[in-house]
Amino acid sequence: MNMKLSSSHLDNIPSTPGKFKMEKASYFNRFRWHYSSLAKLTFWSFVFMGLILVFLIKSPPTSPTTSIPSDLSRRSLKTKSWGGPGWEKRVKSSAKIRSPNGLSVLVTGAAGFVGTHVSAALKRRGDGVLGLDNFNNYYDPSLKRARQSLLERSGIFIVEGDINDAVLLKKLFEVVPFTHVMHLAAQAGVRYAMENPSSYVHSNIAGLVNVLEVCKEANPQPAIVWASSSSVYGLNTKIPFSEKDRTDQPASLYAATKKAGEEIAHTYNHIYGLSLTGLRFFTVYGPWGRPDMAYFFFTRDILKGKSIPIFEGANHGTVARDFTYIDDIVKGCLGALDTAEKSTGSGGKKKGNAQLRVFNLGNTSPVPVSDLVSILERLLKVKAKRKVMTLPRNGDVQFTHANISYAQREFGYKPTTDLQTGLKKFVRWYVSYYGSGKKNDH
């Protein structure tokens, strides 16, 4: 119908419409001209709209690795503080291997507690290290900035960006052919999941998938070691927790996202030949630790004279944790990196079966939380105001205890720091960082 309309109106358009011709035209002709130019406008509007429609329908879909929900992409775009020759030079220099047979490792979550320690340890032994972190404000970002300064002093550059930013990640792999990825960036914390569930999906699910998507496309593909969590054991009652035990009863969304991560790792290993090692950390503590963890805020609150909640299970059952000192965790991370086999695929294609592992990294010596408080009281020389409460059912489990024989067998993992010794080091750091003043706040 459009075609018919257009051809008839095309006939009516004067060959050279213009002022001169218009002046000479009869009233009828003038009417005809007005009518035809209106029709012409309508016709071209239709054509124009049609073209837009065709363009929209035919335009290629956004690459799956870059299509993330708008609120998330906005967050990622906000982080576009990278690029340029100077930036690339810093990236290359930070990732430069300085020892024979050294690794080049992309450490995500490098401004975090574990990430900072692992990055520093890798650098110390001559590996190339590049950090990536979005410096989010889940806890005081100034602590992350202080860790960043610490790493900068030993030549480690932390790129500021989100693990969901596929463009950035691809760029990093273009600049450096990383042999390994130590993936530690995540939304941590068990109770916060009830407040902000989407942050767990954003970082622990979508972010993990994005990291794996980019790794699978990389050529060569890196080997990936990543942080799962002891929380995957959830309501499991068989102790000590073994990697062979069931992990299908998570007690928090955090645990569920870590468990999902383990299944996602299986998929990427199976389909793309990515070498993947998951590490189930058990309550890591130490200097430069996380302020949202009990040992940390107990220290702060004891010093301030504030009461601290001591949880107990049903029937006054003991709540205990397999507290693991950061240096032992770092040794476990390095052991896992050093024994990680190469990925077998390249450019998104699997070429053979690749390694897939999951290890417990704990201390294998659970300590009741009330004992932790007693140690802190002695170290701080302040009596704690204990407020005994029933463990709420909002994510925490009553007991954790790691069986570490698998990690021991595979890479000689053997924790050597007991809670008393580790807390002494933590308290020394805490006091030097925040001071021992009782009015401290952070």
Ligand X SMILES: NC(=O)c1ccc[n+]([C@@H]2O[C@H](COP(=O)([O-])OP(=O)(O)OC[C@H]3O[C@@H](n4cnc5c(N)ncnc54)[C@H](O)[C@@H]3O)[C@@H](O)[C@H]2O)c1
Give the binding site for ligand X (CB under 6 A). 109, 111-115, 133-136, 144, 162-164, 184-188, 203, 207, 227, 229, 281, 283-284, 290
Minimum gap (Å) between residue 324 Cβ and ligand X:
8
Task: Please report which helix (H) or strand (E) contains residue 272, including its range.
Answer: helix 253-272
Question: Angle of helix 113-124 relative to helix 141-153, nearest 10 degrees?
Answer: 0
| Closer of 43 and 294 to ligand X (Cβ) | 294
| Closer of 321 and 350 to ligand X (Cβ) | 321
Minimum gap (Å) between residue 162 Cβ and ligand X:
4
Place of tokens 């932790």: 372
Minimum gap (Å) between residue 123 Cβ and ligand X:
17
| Closer of 111 and 253 to ligand X (Cβ) | 111
| Closer of 33 and 138 to ligand X (Cβ) | 138
When CB distances to ligand X are compared, the closest residue is 112
Minimum gap (Å) between residue 114 Cβ and ligand X:
4
Minimum gap (Å) between residue 97 Cβ and ligand X:
24
Catalytic residue among 139, 254, 272, 430: 254
Paired with 159 in beta bridges are: 132
Classified as helix, coil or strand, 198 is: helix
Minimum gap (Å) between residue 290 Cβ and ligand X:
5
| Closer of 272 and 282 to ligand X (Cβ) | 282
* DSSP string across 199-240: HHIIIIIIIHHHHHHHHHHSSSPPEEEEEEEGGGGTT--SSS
| Closer of 221 and 231 to ligand X (Cβ) | 231
CB within 8 Å of 353: residues ≥ 6 apart: 273, 344
CB within 8 Å of 325: residues ≥ 6 apart: 284, 285, 286, 363, 415, 417, 419, 421, 422, 425
C-alpha triplet 318, 293, 160: angle, nearest 5°? 155
For residue 277, give the nearest of 209, 173, 181, 162 by alpha carbon.
Answer: 181
CA distance 130 to 410: 26
Q: CB count, 10 Å around CB of 264? A: 18
Q: Is 254 a catalytic residue?
A: yes
Residues belonging to the active site: 254
